[in-house]
């Protein structure tokens, strides 16, 4: 058999038979599938957001860990504000209101390209951070696997890439069960943990390799650092507004309802985990996650309920990367249509997925995971710059949008989005200041570099188009 025939058969085995393009409307999400695919990043981030707050506060001392609770409530309030603002974006942009589209329509080319660069970086980091955190959940349950965490992360990237190459509907089926398994298991953990904390005295949880206090002073800067760390709980919020066209009709209504469901679940789980961490006197450890410690404390050891929680946490964290797999290729295809990236990223594969974007995302994430040794805490400082750049530009763009339209109730809408822009802008400044020395400078440097590449690519395509026009 010719080599081309063998390659074709291997491709069919891995990604399935081609889907006719006229069946694309059958590949759309219901609310439940959309929640699983597009909200898994936001939902899963609660598994490590509390831990990131505690890892900063513990440097002062065990007593400082109590500040995690008020910090969590502030973050929850900001998350609610951002979600409420993005619901307006969903209704205003039913064709997909990502930060790039909103900024392009209302703020101009340069803000739009900054938003696009920030989002592309954010999606790559979403894959890297989510998978690294998922492997951390796995190695917490099975410490002997800790030495192989880089290999494990790369294996999960491969699985996700193949799953998404099979197409939207199949990826939704694959990822729905683990998402809801995580939600049910974590809500169950919170309910049982709260009942036990209220009904009997709690003994501190014994753990190995605890992070020892460094005797730091509790300063405003340190509290802001803990706050910025905890803002990882807000990552992934924009994914639903980016993916409005992927929902079944009525698209805007289904997407808005999905975003509200996501917000309610995220806030409940994030605040619940933080309160349990305080009630059970959890101290962050180098080899065991905070959720793992809480599960041991609540369920009295490593019995089957503990392993259910850890399995669900690992799966949702790994599969949370699917949010990026849904949005990175879509954004890349829009940028390709506008001639800011190579046109090959605009093409859909046999399974109606943007195959080149999926493969590119997998390669970039794999490079990051190898470079940072698959360590979640090393990747986190890079993570939030892109998130809050896109948040702020999107909400600022919506203010201009309402001012241009001046329809009924436009002032109220503009106020809501303006307030969202101010809040996320303040958080962006805090994150940039507190995270720059921890590695965020790399992202601050990459964004303008990528914008230059966008403009050079556009210049190339414009030059080629002018050449054809001249010849004609």
Per-residue pLDDT, averaged over 318-342, amounts to: 84
Per-residue pLDDT, averaged over 172-180, amounts to: 76
Question: For 362-381, what is each residue's pLDDT tens digit?
Answer: 999 999 999 998 888 888 88
Average pLDDT over the chain, rounded to an integer: 84
**Secondary structure string (H, E, C) spanning 145-168:** HHHHHHHHHHHHHHHHHHHHHCCH
State residue 24's pLDDT score.
44
State residue 25's pLDDT score.
46
Question: For 3-40, what is each residue's pLDDT tens digit?
Answer: 445 445 544 454 445 544 444 444 577 888 888 878 88
Per-residue pLDDT, averaged over 407-432, amounts to: 91
Say what percent of the chain tops pLDDT 90.
39
Q: How many CB atoms lie within 10 A of CB 14?
A: 11
Label residue 98 by pLDDT band (50, 70, 90). Answer: confident
Whole-angstrom distance, CA of residue 268 vs CA of residue 233: 12
State residue 397's pLDDT score.
94
State residue 147's pLDDT score.
75
Nearest to 76 by CA among 291, 234, 254, 281: 234
Who has greater pLDDT, 204 or 328?
Answer: 328
Question: What domains, with CATH codes, occur in the chain?
Answer: 29-471 (1.20.1740.10)
State residue 97's pLDDT score.
62
Whole-angstrom distance, CA of residue 162 vs CA of residue 289: 29
Question: For 454-466, what is each residue's pLDDT tens digit?
Answer: 999 999 888 887 7
Who has greater pLDDT, 361 or 323?
Answer: 361
List all residues 6 or more positions away from 60 whose beta carbon is below 8 Å from its beta carbon: 213, 214, 215, 216, 217, 218, 222
Largest interatomic CA distance in the chain: 84
State residue 23's pLDDT score.
44
Burial 138-173 (b: 16+ CB within 10 A, else e): bbbbeeeebeebbebbbebbeebbebbbbbbbbbbe
Cβ distance 100 to 116 under 8 Å? yes
Per-residue pLDDT at 166 exceeds 80: no
Per-residue pLDDT at 175 exceeds 70: no
State residue 271's pLDDT score.
96
Question: For 243-267, what is each residue's pLDDT tens digit?
Answer: 788 788 888 899 999 999 999 999 9
Whole-angstrom distance, CA of residue 452 vs CA of residue 359: 23
Cβ distance 202 to 280 under 8 Å? yes
Who has greater pLDDT, 347 or 300?
Answer: 300
Who has greater pLDDT, 13 or 125?
Answer: 125
State residue 333's pLDDT score.
87
Per-residue pLDDT, averaged over 167-181, amounts to: 69
The DSSP call for residue 372 is: T
Label residue 140 by pLDDT band (50, 70, 90). Answer: confident
Label residue 351 by pLDDT band (50, 70, 90). Answer: very low
């Amino acid at each position: 058999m010719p080599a081309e025939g063998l390659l074709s058969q291997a491709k069919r085995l891995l990604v399935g038979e081609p889907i006719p393009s006229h069946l694309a409307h059958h590949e759309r999400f219901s609310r439940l599938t959309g929640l699983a695919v597009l909200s898994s990043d936001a939902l899963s981030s609660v598994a490590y957001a509390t831990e990131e707050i505690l890892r900063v506060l513990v440097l002062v001392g065990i007593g400082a860990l109590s500040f995690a609770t008020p910090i969590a409530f502030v973050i929850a309030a900001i998350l609610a504000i951002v979600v409420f603002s993005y619901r307006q974006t969903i209704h205003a942009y039913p064709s997909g209101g990502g930060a790039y589209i909103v900024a392009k329509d209302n703020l101009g080319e340069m803000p739009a390209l900054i938003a696009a660069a920030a989002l592309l970086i954010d999606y790559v980091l979403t894959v890297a951070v989510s998978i690294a955190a998922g492997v951390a959940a796995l190695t917490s349950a099975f410490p002997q696997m800790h030495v192989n965490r880089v290999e494990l992360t790369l294996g999960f990237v491969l699985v996700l890439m193949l799953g998404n190459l099979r197409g939207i509907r199949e990826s939704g089926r694959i990822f729905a069960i683990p998402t809801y398994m995580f939600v049910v298991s974590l809500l169950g953990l919170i309910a049982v943990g709260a009942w036990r904390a209220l009904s009997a005295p709690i003994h501190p949880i014994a753990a190995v390799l605890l992070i020892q206090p460094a005797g730091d002073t509790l300063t405003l800067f340190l509290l802001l650092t803990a706050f910025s760390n905890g803002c990882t709980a807000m990552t992934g919020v924009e994914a639903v507004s980016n993916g409005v066209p992927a929902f079944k009709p009525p698209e805007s209504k289904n997407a808005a309802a999905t975003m509200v469901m996501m917000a309610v679940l995220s806030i409940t789980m994030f605040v619940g985990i933080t309160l349990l961490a305080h009630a059970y006197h959890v101290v962050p450890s180098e080899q065991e996650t905070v959720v793992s410690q809480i599960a041991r404390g609540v369920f009295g050891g490593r019995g089957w309920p503990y392993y259910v929680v850890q399995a669900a946490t690992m799966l949702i964290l790994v599969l949370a990367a699917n949010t990026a797999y849904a949005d990175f290729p879509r954004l890349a295809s829009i940028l390709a249509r506008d001639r800011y990236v190579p046109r090959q990223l605009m093409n859909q594969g046999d399974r109606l997925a943007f195959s080149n974007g999926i493969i590119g995302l997998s390669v970039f994430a794999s490079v990051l995971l190898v470079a940072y040794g698959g360590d979640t805490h090393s990747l986190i400082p890079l993570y939030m710059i892109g998130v809050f750049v896109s948040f702020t530009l999107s909400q600022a763009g919506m203010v201009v949008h309402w001012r241009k339209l001046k329809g009924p109730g436009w002032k109220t809408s503009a106020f809501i989005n303006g307030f969202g822009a101010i809040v996320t802008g303040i958080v962006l400044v805090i994150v940039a200041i507190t995270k720059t020395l921890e590695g965020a400078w790399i992202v601050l440097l990459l964004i303008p570099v990528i914008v230059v590449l966008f403009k050079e690519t556009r210049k190339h395509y414009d030059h080629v188009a002018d050449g054809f026009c001249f010849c004609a």
